[in-house]
């Protein structure tokens, strides 16, 4: 169920029996030679919608404009400052709460969102809001490791591209056929949460947009399995979240 595809009377009826809503948060940024610019938002929304069918919870319209300054050296990337994003997110959360959605499950699809989202949640001091990135679930990590191992990398990952292939375009790999530069564990640790450098420097270091991710390993059948695993785990997490904070 999508909130933006409901009438107010349908929303009113839903709120008479539930106060939980899923808020997908993604980004609008490059994802390498074969990854769609909306990949992060597509993944978060697709998983949220699939989870909603399992646990019968409404999905709010996704937030697609978020911080991605390191990727603005690539055409198509639209990045918000952290201040603008946190202000917008804070108002969206407050608006949902005022309407009666007091249990807000934020399903994240973009690493650079995690710190500012946590900042907003801490400022609001509302224990009925929860953040989870779709790749955090053990069932998802297991599949990703099985399919791609260390070639999952950090950006333009085969797992996220595989998810977009299940319901959107499958783009020819082109230059992504060749594996990218492999990342060290130290690099991954130091740059977790998309802590990358200035846009010109970032593009010079990763000229095709991939950050250690062998995107060409993505397959639609992988994406379907990852999507299903993420949706099931998310649905369980939402039920537990709602019950624990009643």
CATH number of the domain at 236, please.
3.40.50.10310
pLDDT score of 33 more than 70: yes
Q: Is 219 exposed, middle or buried (0-12, 13-18, 19+ CB in 10 A)?
A: middle
Q: Are the CB atoms for 43 and 26 separated by under 8 Å?
A: yes
Q: What does each C-alpha distance from 39 to 55, 184, 205 come to in angstroms?
A: 24, 25, 22
pLDDT tens for 159-171 read 999 999 998 999 9
Q: Is the whole model's pTM more than 0.85, yes or no? A: yes
pLDDT tens for 39-61 read 999 999 999 999 999 999 999 99
Q: Which two tokens stand for residue 245?
A: 């904070």
pLDDT at 156: 97
Confidence class for position 196, pLDDT limits 50, 70, 90: confident
Confirm whether 97 is domain-assigned.
yes
Confirm whether 25 is domain-assigned.
yes
Confirm whether 246 is domain-assigned.
no
CA distance 202 to 17: 48
Confirm whether 192 is domain-assigned.
yes
Confirm whether 245 is domain-assigned.
no
Confirm whether 218 is domain-assigned.
yes
Q: Are the CB atoms for 239 and 62 separated by under 8 Å?
A: no
Which has the closest alpha carbon to 241: 21, 16, 48, 15? 21
Full domain range(s) for residue 145: 3-240
pLDDT tens for 102-152 read 999 999 999 999 999 999 998 886 569 999 999 999 999 999 999 999 999
Confirm whether 115 is domain-assigned.
yes
Please state the domain count of the chain: 1
């Amino acid at each position: 169920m999508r909130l933006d595809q409901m009438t107010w009377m349908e929303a009113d009826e839903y709120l008479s029996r539930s106060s939980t809503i899923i808020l997908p948060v993604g980004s609008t940024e490059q994802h390498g030679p074969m990854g769609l610019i909306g990949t992060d938002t597509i993944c978060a929304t697709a998983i949220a919608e699939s989870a909603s069918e399992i646990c019968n919870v409404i999905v709010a319209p996704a937030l697609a404009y978020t911080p991605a300054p390191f990727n603005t050296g690539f055409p198509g990337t639209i990045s918000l400052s952290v201040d603008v994003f946190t202000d917008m997110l804070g108002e969206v959360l407050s608006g949902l709460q005022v309407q009666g959605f007091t249990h807000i499950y934020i399903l994240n699809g973009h690493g650079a969102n995690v710190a500012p989202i946590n900042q907003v949640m801490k400022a609001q001091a509302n224990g009925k809001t929860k953040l989870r990135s779709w790749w955090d679930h053990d069932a998802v990590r297991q599949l990703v490791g099985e399919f791609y191992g260390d070639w999952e990398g950090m950006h333009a990952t085969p797992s996220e591209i595989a998810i977009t292939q299940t319901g959107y375009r499958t783009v020819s790999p082109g230059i992504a056929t060749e594996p990218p530069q492999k990342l060290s564990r130290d690099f991954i640790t130091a740059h977790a949460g998309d802590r990358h450098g200035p846009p010109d420097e970032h593009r010079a270091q990763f000229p095709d947009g991939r950050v250690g991710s062998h995107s060409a390993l993505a397959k639609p059948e992988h994406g379907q399995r990852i999507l299903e695993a993420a949706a099931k785990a998310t649905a369980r997490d939402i039920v537990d979240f709602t019950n624990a904070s009643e």
